[in-house]
Amino acid sequence: MCGIIGYKGNKDGNEVVLKGLHSLEYRGYDSWGIASVHENEIKIIKKVGQIGHIKLKDLGFPKSNLALGHTRWATHGGVSEINAHPHLSKNKKIVVVHNGIVENFQELRRFLEEQGFEFISETDSEIFPHLIEYFMEQKINFEGAVRRTLNKIEGSFAIVAINLESKEMVGARHGSPLVAGIGNGEFFLASDVPPFLAYTKKAVYLDDGELTIINKHIKFINIETGKEIKKQHQTIEWDVEQAKKGKYPHFMLKEINEQKDTIKLAAEQPPELIKKVTKMIEDARGVFFVGCGTSYHACVSAAYVFAKISKIHVNVVIASEFSEYEDFLTDKTLVVALSQSGETADLLEAIRTAKKHNCKTFSVVNVVGSSLTRLCDRNIMMNAGPEICVLSTKSYTSQLTILLLLAYSVAGKLGKAKELIDTVSKSVGEIIDTNLKKLKQLATKIKDATDFFLIGRGLAFPSALEGALKIKEISYIHAEGFAGAELKHGTIALIEDGVPVFVLSTPATRHLILSNAMEIKSRGGYIIGIDSEDNDVFDYFIKVPDVGNAEPILWIIPIQIFSYYIALARGCDPDKPRNLAKSVTVK
Ligand code: F6R
């Protein structure tokens, strides 16, 4: 987690870094800090809280062509100004920002303290500037000292470091993302591309074990050997406007609305790629779908659509639990990774486990150039554009769309998938536009509920899980999703007067799910039905068209809208829920 950025060029680095941090805030927002490098000193500002409305003048820095910054999601050390990054070395000439975790930090800290280095913060990250200084004291140049430092680190890192004397900037990665932006006589280093999209679209993604050193030019180096590496740049196709809120008050609302287009875009896949991936599924002996959070819920949905449409069984595993299945992995196994960011540490670890056993792999992923894309044999891109709100919305429906495409492709009915997706994407606009006002009213009416339950059978079950996650992560109200019949095996004890229950009903499951709804209603539950037709058991009805196996794509949309409005009704920030970060890059 955490967002890092560095700038060296002819613009005011303070401004570039400040704006960059605004766009990286989705990666963490406990605290922030900026270092501005001047002729003889490094000026630092650090604050607790979100960088949100901080303006350039608030920094109080003179102009500088060299600067770096950090927005934090705390791991080691509480949320405080002292623990916020950047961190300085003892002689105040080396400044570093770090994203990741130093696992051998206690041992390194002890070593440095014995050498007379005094630690100011409780963070593991403060190791970096001190250790770099320690090596430089031994007459090793900046680049060499950074390499020696990184070779001592166990754990994960993406760092940006600046040396006051040489005015060089270094970036390096192992396990956390880092991308270099190459402009006209200027260079950017950042956790993600939005901070430099306004200035350049030329990007070089660093791989694990690589370092870049920037003085007048940029050079890439292998951290272990010190040998130079030739790297190709990529042209980023995302538009700077896509990474802005535009007319919307929040990214979440913007991204919910974007589903009017993104579902269709997700289905626009190169036919050759779909053919190859279909063959991978057909040839596999054992298929695993892995993901975390929302992406895991899409995996659960995969189990249903592949069973129903392709008549094949796929295993679904939460990425962090995947190593428990190692004994079943062979070179015939296929592991499919679902991820918006492509940087989720637990998922990357699952794919590394798969690779260790020579499994075949492919991903369904949104972020071009992300770590996952470089680990997997093949990648299906979601084409959803940047998803900035911490909550996954459009990426979930894009994942579901691609899964549907694949399930039908394996069944030899790709044309049917395209037809369904076309119908679905035509309905999305209507569902959004007719429900915005209504769901705002509903959310306002029931904003003080202390529990929400969501039930669905078959294809609707994963949507119930995902709906519950949406409500709880943004409104901080307890919410749980269940398979329709499961509630009465215990949790129905929590149903009392007025407890809101979303009932996701489909033509195929209607007769049973409506009896489950009745059981809840008899105990006082307030039933919010999502279905293609109304029913007496519903206290509140949300209509979605009957689109057969593509229904999961539609059911979640009203729940996303409801979640957005209940967050607003409760005074919560929908884009930045407490304690969360968009990319979970720690295990
Ligand atoms: C929930 C949410 C998270 C992510 C999870 C995986 O709204 O956003 O649960 O789905 O952290 O992230 P990705 O898909 O980037 O691997």
CATH number at residue 12: 3.60.20.10
One-letter amino acid at 534 equals D
Q: Ligand 1: distance of its center to the CA of 580 in Å?
A: 10
Please check the confidence at residue 304 and state whether its pLDDT lies above 80: yes
Q: In which residue are the tokens 């007048």 written?
A: 216
Which pTM value belongs to this model? Answer: 0.87
Residue 552 is classified by DSSP as: H
Q: Ligand 1: distance of its center to the CA of 567 in Å?
A: 18
State both tokens at 563: 């979640």
Q: Closest residue (by CA) to atom 5 of ligand 1?
A: 293
Residue 347: which pLDDT band, with cuts at 50, 70 and 90? very high
70 in a structural domain:
yes
- Active-site residues, by number, are 2, 582
One-letter amino acid at 68 equals L
Q: Ligand 1: distance of its center to the CA of 581 in Å?
A: 9
440 in a structural domain:
no
Q: Closest residue (by CA) to atom 16 of ligand 1?
A: 339
Please check the confidence at residue 460 and state whether its pLDDT lies above 80: yes
Q: What is the pLDDT of residue 495?
A: 94
Q: Closest residue (by CA) to atom 7 of ligand 1?
A: 391
Q: Closest residue (by CA) to atom 11 of ligand 1?
A: 293
Residue 88: which pLDDT band, with cuts at 50, 70 and 90? very high
Which of 292, 318, 351, 582 for a ligand 1 pocket mutation test, highest count of atoms within 8 Å of Cβ? 292
Closest CA to 430 of 307, 351, 544: 544
Q: Closest residue (by CA) to atom 10 of ligand 1?
A: 294
Residues recorded for the chain: 587
467 in a structural domain:
no
Q: What is the pLDDT of residue 419?
A: 95
In the sheet with 478-483, reading across from the earlier edge strand, the strands are: 478-483, 451-456, 500-504, 526-531, 540-543
39 in a structural domain:
yes
Please check the confidence at residue 408 and state whether its pLDDT lies above 90: yes
- Closest atom of ligand 1 relative to the 391 alpha carbon: 7
Closest CA to 383 of 254, 263, 553: 263
β-strand pairing of 218-222 with 210-214? antiparallel
The alpha helices in 411-539, defined as continuous H runs, are 414-445, 460-475, 510-521
Q: Closest residue (by CA) to atom 9 of ligand 1?
A: 293
Q: Ligand 1: distance of its center to the CA of 317 in Å?
A: 15
Which residues lie with the beta carbon below 6 Å from any ligand 1 atom? Answer: 292-295, 339-341, 344, 347, 391-392, 469, 473, 584
CB proximity list for 251: less than 8 A, separation 6 or greater: 26, 245, 388, 389, 575
Q: Determine the Cα–Cα distance for residues 324 and 328; give it in Å rounded to an integer.
A: 9
State both tokens at 338: 């679902």
Which of 584, 586, 587 for a ligand 1 pocket mutation test, highest count of atoms within 8 Å of Cβ? 584
Residue 318: which pLDDT band, with cuts at 50, 70 and 90? very high
CB 4 within 8 A of CB 160: yes
Q: Ligand 1: distance of its center to the CA of 226 in Å?
A: 35
Residue 540 is classified by DSSP as: E
Which of 289, 290, 295 for a ligand 1 pocket mutation test, highest count of atoms within 8 Å of Cβ? 295
Q: What is the pLDDT of residue 237?
A: 83
560 in a structural domain:
no
State both tokens at 44: 């630092």
CA atoms within 13 A on the CB side of 193: 30
58 in a structural domain:
yes
- Closest atom of ligand 1 relative to the 395 alpha carbon: 14
67 in a structural domain:
yes
One-letter amino acid at 97 equals V
- Closest atom of ligand 1 relative to the 297 alpha carbon: 10
Please report, for residues 228, 337, 365, the alpha-carbon distance to residue 340 in angstroms, rounded to integers and kept in the order given. 32, 10, 5
Which of 255, 392, 583, 584 for a ligand 1 pocket mutation test, highest count of atoms within 8 Å of Cβ? 392
User: In whole numbers, what is the pLDDT of the chain averaged over residues?
Assistant: 95
Residue 178: which pLDDT band, with cuts at 50, 70 and 90? very high
Q: Ligand 1: distance of its center to the CA of 297 in Å?
A: 10
- Closest atom of ligand 1 relative to the 292 alpha carbon: 6
- Closest atom of ligand 1 relative to the 372 alpha carbon: 16
Please check the confidence at residue 566 and state whether its pLDDT lies above 90: yes
- Closest atom of ligand 1 relative to the 393 alpha carbon: 7
- The number of domains in the chain is 1
Q: Closest residue (by CA) to atom 3 of ligand 1?
A: 293
Residue 239: which pLDDT band, with cuts at 50, 70 and 90? confident
Please report, for residues 124, 137, 499, 567, the alpha-carbon distance to residue 540 in angstroms, rounded to integers and kept in the order given. 51, 71, 13, 20
Task: Give residue 181's domain range.
Answer: 3-242
Please report, for residues 365, 396, 546, 549, the alpha-carbon distance to residue 399 in angstroms, rounded to integers and kept in the order given. 8, 5, 20, 14
Q: Ligand 1: distance of its center to the CA of 462 in Å?
A: 15
3-state SS class at 342: coil
Over residues 115-166, the pLDDT tens digits come to 999 999 999 999 999 999 999 999 999 999 999 999 999 999 999 999 999 9
Q: Ligand 1: distance of its center to the CA of 538 in Å?
A: 31
Q: What is the pLDDT of residue 74?
A: 80
Average pLDDT over residues 219-232: 96
CB 341 within 8 A of CB 99: no
- Determine the Cα angle at 424 with ends 459 and 550, to 5°: 20
Over residues 17-30, the pLDDT tens digits come to 999 999 898 888 88
End-to-end CA distance of the chain: 10
Q: Determine the Cα–Cα distance for residues 353 and 332; give it in Å rounded to an integer.
A: 14
Average pLDDT over residues 221-246: 89
The alpha helices in 306-413, defined as continuous H runs, are 345-356, 371-375, 394-410
Closest CA to 57 of 18, 103, 110, 84: 18
CB proximity list for 328: less than 8 A, separation 6 or greater: 286
CB 280 within 8 A of CB 364: no
- Closest atom of ligand 1 relative to the 344 alpha carbon: 16
170 in a structural domain:
yes
One-letter amino acid at 315 equals N
In the chain, the percentage of residues whose pLDDT exceeds 90 is: 88
β-strand pairing of 360-365 with 451-456? unpaired
Residue 581: which pLDDT band, with cuts at 50, 70 and 90? confident
Q: Is 377 exposed, middle or buried (0-12, 13-18, 19+ CB in 10 A)?
A: middle
Closest CA to 573 of 82, 85, 32, 53: 53
